Every structure is written in C-alpha cells, then in structure tokens.
Amino acid sequence: MTTRAEQFAGLSVALITPFRDGQVDYARLEEQVEFQIQAGVTCLCPVGTTGESPTLSHPEHREVISAVIKAANGRVKVMPGTGSNSTEEALELTRFAAQVGADAVLVVSPYYNRPPQEGLYQHFKSLAQAVDIPICIYNIPGRTGRNIEPETFFRLAEFPNIAMVKEASGSLDQVSQLTTQTDLTVLSGDDSLTLPILSVGGRGVISVIGNIVPQDMIAMIRAFEEGNIPEAIRWHKKLFPLARDMLGLSTNPIPIKAAMRLLGRDSGELRLPLTPLSSDQENRLRKVLADYGLLQ
C-alpha cells in the first residue's frame, strides 16, 4: 500500500511537555525524546493536545519545538503541533517549525469559532501554500466543535503537501472514505481505535499511551503490517484496557502525566485549568498500570 507520506507510517508519539515548578523542564524533555528514540518510534509530536499547547506561551511553544528537533538530531522525524483557531497564528507557528527543521507539522482544525467547511478549506489552503513540508491535518471534532467533512478533505488533497490526516472523529466510515478516495496517509488519533483504523487502510497512530508503552504499540502495528493478524489482535486486546481505562479517567493529558509520575518518568505537574487526578482516580490508575504489568 502506498500513501502520500509513507515515511510517517508506524508509531508517532504525542509527547507530554514536562513541567517543574511551573516552568518547562527541558532536561526531562530531552529524556523523553531519548526514551522514544531508543524504543524505535517513527516520529515525535511535541506541543499538541498531550503537550498542553493551550497553556504554553508563544515563546515556550517555539522553544519546545526547537528543543525536540535539537534533541532528536535527525534520528527520528519530528512533527510539532502548529495549529490555532486563528489562521494568522497557525501560519506563524507553521512557518517557524519549517524554518527550524521540522519534518512535518500537525495542524489541528480551528477550534471554538466553528468555521464552515469553506473556512476550513481556506485555512488549510493558506498553510499549504505557505510551507513546503508535509502537513498533517488533525480532525478531532470532540474538542474543536466541527468535523472536517470527507468532501473537504477531498478538496484539500489537491495540495501535494497536505499529506496526512490524524483522524479522531471516531468514525470508521469517515476513515474508510479517506483511505478509499484519496492517497492521504491516515493516522489514528485514538489509541483504542488503532487496529480498527489499520484494518481499513490507516497507516499508524499518533499515540498518547505510546509515552509509556511505545514498544508494545510498535509490536501491534508491525504484526498487522506483517500479516500476522492473530498477533496484532493479541496486542490490541492487551493495549485496549490501558487506553480505555487510563485515558478515560480524566481529560488528556492528566492521566498519562499521572502514569508517568508513578513510573518515575515525569513530575506529573500540570498547568491550570488542568488539575490532578483525585485520590480515587489515582488508585484506579494504579490498578490499571498494575494489571498491565507496569507497576508492582
């Protein structure tokens, strides 16, 4: 199967942004990058939803992008989030990412202002004409308030560097429309739907739980690609409770940051308006991690 951005097939990880005492912890961020590179991931995606981009200042947003690109040093691809509900702001961040060496950009659909489909088309058209690097459109209507309809994707696919879609609409019908009527590289935006999306032509995932179990996600994708469907299903059945029960505890990235704290890989610190898990939620998280085999 050949899609437009096959080099991004596989596991991309939506990195957290580690904080300490209210500031970005760049030393810990470099550790996260190294952890993922050693696991063998395809791509790193900083400053997205999982990276708490809504509460990063503009200078911090740019600094985190630059820090991840520098730490990766060409060993894996880097696809930072550069989206905004303001087209001008998205243009500024996208141009910056291209200038500092990003391999692609992940651009969420404009949120809150709920543009019509024509507005969505014009927004992404502006970005496609501004840079040469591949663009991955992130469709997550549960957060943005607006689904990017398949017909809009068909129009956007006319731009060669609109190469990928991170699909988090929850609709396999929509994914199937994209994989059967375009050559866009479709990546799952929901960990629990990764295998179903692969089964209808998806090429990988931009993962949250990949922050803690990247090798297992890679194993599932590899098994599917090698045609070992029973093995892929076995991995799906192991990973699914982790994705469902951990990420279902609270808003992303609250649970994954708590999990990383329990595993000794992050402080777990969040920025308001995000707040930590309750003690009851954390006890449930401990059980999920223990059942998976990550905690004693």
Q: What are the structural domains, with CATH classification, of the chain? A: 6-229 (3.20.20.70)
Strand pairing class (19-20; 10-14): unpaired
Name the residue with tokens 């939506």.
Answer: 14
Task: With both helix axes pointing from N to C terminus, report the angle between 254-262 and 279-292 in degrees, rounded to the nearest 10.
Answer: 60
Count Cβ atoms below 10 Å from residue 130 Cβ, excluding itself.
Answer: 16
For 255-289, the pLDDT digits (tens) are 999 999 999 999 999 999 999 999 999 999 999 99
What's the confidence (pLDDT) of residue 213? Answer: 98
Question: Residue 76 is which amino acid?
Answer: V
Q: Which of 138, 238, 257, 292 is catalytic?
A: 138
Question: Across all residues in the chain, what is the average pLDDT?
Answer: 97
Instruction: Work out the percent of the chain whose per-residue pLDDT is above 70.
Output: 100
Is residue 1 pLDDT above 80, yes or no? no
| Paired tokens of 105 | 């950009």
Q: What angle do CA 6, 43, 37 make, to 5 degrees?
A: 130
Half-sphere CA count of 294, side-chain side, radius 13 A: 23
Rounded Cα–Cα distance for residues 12 and 34 (Å):
14
pLDDT at 205 over 80: yes
Sequence length of the chain is 296
Q: Is 166 a catalytic residue?
A: yes
Answer whether residue 237 shows pLDDT above 90.
Answer: yes
Tens digits of residue pLDDT in 55-114: 999 999 999 999 999 999 999 999 999 999 999 999 999 999 999 999 999 999 999 999
The answer to whether 19 touches 55, Cβ cutoff 8 Å, is no
Q: What is the pLDDT, as a whole number, of residue 98?
A: 98
Q: What percent of the chain has pLDDT over 90?
A: 99
pLDDT (0 to 100) of residue 296:
84
Query: Quick check: 139 pLDDT over 90?
Result: yes
Q: Is 257 a catalytic residue?
A: no
Give the active site residue among 77, 166, 257, 292: 166
